[in-house]
Amino acid sequence: MNRQDRRKALGKGLGSLLPTRNAPAPAPAAHEPETPREGSVAWIPIDRVKPNADQPRHEFDPVAMMELTQSIERDGVIQPIIVRPTANGEYQIIAGERRWRAAKSAGLNEIPVIPRTADDQKVLELAIIENIQREDLNPIELALGFQRMAAELGLSHDQIGEKTGKDRATVTNMIRLLQLPEDLQNLIGAKKLSAGHARALLKISDPHTQREIAERCVGEGWSVRQIEAYTKTAHASSTPKPKQEPAPQDPNVKAAVGELESKLGTRVRIIEKGRDKGLIEIEYYSADDLDRIYNIIAGD
């Protein structure tokens, strides 16, 4: 992947914080502490750098960390970490906690940093985006990252897509995976079920049936098409009469649904209950998400 492609992939997030530069040379053995300047690479004692307690990623693959540690032992820290100044001459990590952890494991006394000025919300946004851009995220981790951007940063699915280089449909579909029972989410996180399996299971409303089919997917290696074929057969056998197709949705109602979903950053349904009557259903995925949607509606 060339430099232009990498910047495009980062959307509008870390690209603004990671200017293109040559890798810093390893710090000399005897080195006077530097005074870091905004946007410039500087070597500082590793003990003055602290992780962010609100870092979205709390689990680090031990095998990948060992490989990174060995790489740093051999070649040093190639890419500086991004930090912001805090009290007592210390620095909080914005992006690069894996490199910091590996550098500590490798026994480094100093580490290259690039200081930046950023408020708490910007730090959280960039930390989430950094994790979303990782190639080893499973679908549930990605969905949780998108959900945090919606719930904690108040971003719509369109805005999340713009910041992460994803399209709106991808963001919405990934967040929908969190509607599955937690045990099925764990199967997806363990890569025993794919995102395609998960989307097919979402078409089934009964959690017991979802689990039954998921077990067959894992145990018998069912494909997504097999799930769809099974559910169609089961539906046909349990329905004595074919259900009448619902009437096409009024274009004005459809447009209203689209506007509400864009404004609220979640799925919305308008259900007509007769002439000039109906229901509006608004989905939320956590207590924080409900609070976010309430504040949008209430205008707080």
Is residue 35 in some structural domain? yes
- The 10s digit of each residue's pLDDT in 222-261 is 888 888 888 777 655 554 444 455 556 677 777 777 778 7
Q: Which pTM does this prediction carry?
A: 0.55
Statement: residue 110 has pLDDT above 90: yes
Q: Decide: 211 and 238 in contact? Cβ < 8 Å.
A: no
97 to 43, 113, 284: CA distances (angstroms): 16, 11, 31
What pLDDT is attached to residue 87?
77
Asked if residue 129 is part of any domain, the answer here is no
Domain range enclosing 289 = 252-298
The catalytic residue positions are 97
Task: State whether 42 and 83 are in the same domain.
Answer: yes
CB burial of 178-216 (b: ≥16 within 10 Å; e: otherwise) equals bebeeebbebbbeeebebebbbbbeebeeeeebbebbee
Last residue in a domain, options 86, 104, 124:
124
d(CA 1, CA 198): 30
Per-residue pLDDT of 124-164, as tens digits, reads 777 777 777 765 678 888 888 888 888 888 889 998 888 88
Residue 28: pLDDT band with limits 50, 70, 90: very low
The span from the CA of 229 to the CA of 233, in Å, is 6
Which tokens hold the place of 41?
Answer: 């690479």
Q: Are residues 222 and 282 in the same domain?
A: no
User: In terms of Cα–Cα distance, which of 223, 219, 167, 166 is closest to 194?
Assistant: 223
What whole-number percentage of the chain has pLDDT above 70?
78
pLDDT average, residue stretch 199-209: 88
Same domain, 13 and 93: yes
Instruction: Look at the chain and report how many structural domains it folds into.
Output: 3
Distance CA 16, CA 20 (A): 10
The answer to whether residues 74 and 115 belong to one domain is yes
